[in-house]
Structure 1
């Protein structure tokens, strides 16, 4: 089954950046989504994220025009799907390097092995969004570019409120790898509105 159509593939190729292609291939193969959609800086693409978040129940409309709400799954202080999870947020430190005692860390290879195992098939039956952001002013040497893969339309929409769209900025990289990337998945969802089921597998590794 073809999970990315020609239009979306062309959006990736237009960046002329094999580093982006390599990362997308690696994590699409690992996470196994049913569909891949590339989001550019266009109003239509960004609106697609916003409207789909409402359509599938990740967000709900409010009475105020243009405003929506999202509910996290919250069962108790120790059992919720909010991202602020100190216990499972860890910095990956190469073996033999200093581990700051005030920071929650894990040996890099151990952490990668664990998280990559958890991520196998984590996007099955879901649509994977490929997003591009600019952290800072556009056309600034101080800004940082970021590539994201996520299967959450709510997350994709929220980040449009936080960061500048960066698809066109990626074209200016001229094929370099001077960007960072982050992979996010909601995992298996349950309920209405849908919330994350397997909270024991939640990890935020940096």
Structure 2
């Protein structure tokens, strides 16, 4: 079982209310529980009929812990430099009390690092520079860009990022279609034949 398969299984179990749906056989339901139990826990001495309840209680408790831990961790992790990344990762691993929590934290860390590496986002980049790094030659939703920027820089608000996009469009550094007053229904791209490299027009 992979992380994606485990998340799909958890999502299904929560949708089913942690009970076997009519369309699923007893054998298939038990198989899902057994695979998820083995993947997420180190326990072996537990009665089969207790596994579902144990998983539900563990995941419910972990979700409460994650909701309390992740916002502050996310703020510090995104605001920190790349040199500090290892310290934050070690802190998160030490905080995690089970495989489910470690899985969620690792997924978050890996996704953030992939975005930084993919777009070559450096710690000293300004907002406009990050936007220009994220935008390519194909149309992208302004809301998507704003969300990615917020994931890379804590403390920013999507509407402020959308305003910076407007400035870049007005400056001729980006092309737009749709109404920029609504980030969900507007898109931007690099002008044909131009590359995205810019310093902040405002400090």
TM-score range, shorter chain: under 0.3
Bigger helix share: 2
Q: Computing the radius of gyration over CA atoms, which structure comes out larger, 1 or 2?
A: 2
Question: Relative contact order: is structure 1 or structure 2 higher (C-alpha 8 Å, sep ≥ 6)?
Answer: 1
- Tell me the TM-score normalised to structure 2 length: 0.21
Bigger strand share: 1
- Tell me the TM-score normalised to structure 1 length: 0.21
